Amino acid sequence: CMPFRTAFPLRSASGTASLPDDHEDTLRGRLSRAGARGEFRLHYQPRIDIDTGRIVSAEALLRWQQPDGSLVAPDDFIPEAEETGLIRSIGAWVLEAACRDCRRWQQIGLAGLPVSVNVSAVQFRWGDLESVVEGALLGSGLDPALLEIELTESRALEDSDTGGQIARIAATGVRVAIDDFGKGYSNLARLGELDIQTLKIDRFFLHNIEEDDKGLALLEAIVGLTRRLGLEAVAEGVETPAAAARLAMIGCSRAQGYLWSKPLPPREFEHFALAWEPLGAMDMPKKRAGR
Ligand code: C2E
Ligand code: MG
Ligand code: MG
Ligand code: MG
């Protein structure tokens, strides 16, 4: 089932000629007002330690709520937000909201549960990401050690400026993860230089690891590389108990996926996390199937 629909075409086929003067109905126009109208939502997906069965953190995933209540997925509006620069204010809101929610978790019985926030490479372009992160931490009172930012692997990681910003953010105690690792642009030489703590292995590598020996070999190599670099490997997109078992076998014990939970609205996530009992990895999915 597809939980989201695409509410807008990303670009009009005829270019700009037919856009109305006030841009009222364009994606750009609506997106530029969405923040002020309070239309953004964060959903949270738990990250599980397969060995202990515990929830070890949660990833904030952005949704855009429409007047009819439907939710637009980030892939359908983040690119436009990046092109227009709107990602700057949207990204700041995401960091503030995620830090606020995580601070709340500390007080309602989920002490020690960190939050992970996706940050666009474009957000580095303005050079003020450090102060945006710092502002979100100060505004919420969240311990920097409980925040991780996820940066999708891209050419931007090659900029020494980006590397410097990552290092300064990491120096404040905030963790930095490389997202979607192995799928797109991989500069392995650069990987050893960046001040990062986590590699999130793209869910592409989870495809067919049950039957496909080559796929499993690639996954094992990435997990091995991650360990040798002293980083933590996290597998994305785990959908089956067999995939989780394979991951545990090759030493990748951190994972996210529909097997455990979809991203949930904040209150639902809190209830889910509070009710969660670390029963042992392989039992959990079946025992929880009724949820
Ligand atoms: P991502 O950070 O790699 O997030 C993982 C995506 O996979 C999410 O899609 C999540 O809902 C989905 N997913 C989780 N488990 C499974 C699974 O078991 N199977 C499958 N098929 N999918 C799974 P989502 O929420 O649509 O987000 C898509 C992308 O949008 C994210 O990829 C991230 O790159 C970007 N994004 C999301 N929120 C933000 C944000 O606040 N800021 C920025 N800049 N980008 C964001
Ligand atoms: Mg991510
Ligand atoms: Mg991504
Ligand atoms: Mg990813």
Report the complex ipTM: 0.98
Nearest CA to ligand 1 atom 27: 74
The CA distance from 73 to 63, in Å, is 5
DSSP label of 264: B
Q: Is the CB of 182 under 6 A from ligand 1?
A: no
Residue 140's pLDDT is 98
DSSP label of 205: G
CA atoms within a 13 Å half-sphere pointing along the CA-CB vector of 40: 27
Alpha helices, H only, 172-278:
188-191, 213-228, 241-249, 266-275
Beta-bridged to residue 117, according to DSSP, are: 60, 149
Residue 158's pLDDT is 80
Residue 207's pLDDT is 81
The CA distance from 63 to 71, in Å, is 6
Check if the beta carbon of residue 242 is closer than 8 Å to that of residue 285: no
Cβ partners under 8 Å of residue 179, min gap 6: 118, 150, 151, 152, 153, 200
Residue 7's pLDDT is 42
Check if the beta carbon of residue 64 is closer than 8 Å to that of residue 90: no
Residue 213's pLDDT is 82
Q: Which residues of the chain register pLDDT less than 70? A: 1-24, 279-291
In the structure encoding, which two tokens stand for residue 141, read together? 């009172």
The number of the ligand 1 atom at minimal distance from the alpha carbon of 81 is 44
Nearest CA to ligand 1 atom 30: 74
> 């190599």: which residue's tokens?
221
The CA distance from 51 to 244, in Å, is 10
**Whole-Å CA distances, 240 to 207, 252, 260, 261, 279:** 11, 15, 9, 12, 17
Q: Phi first, then psi: give them for residue 125, nearest 5 degrees.
A: -65, -35
Query: Which ligand neighbours the alpha carbon of 129 most closely?
Result: 1
Q: Phi first, then psi: give them for residue 259, nearest 5 degrees.
A: -50, -40
CA 127 from centroid of its chain's CA atoms:
21
**Whole-Å CA distances, 88 to 37, 132, 198, 265, 276:** 17, 10, 24, 23, 35
Residue 187's pLDDT is 77
Nearest CA to ligand 1 atom 11: 263
Check if the beta carbon of residue 280 is closer than 8 Å to that of residue 261: no
Residue 154's pLDDT is 81
For ligand 4, the distance from its centroid to the CA atom of residue 161, given in whole angstroms, is: 23
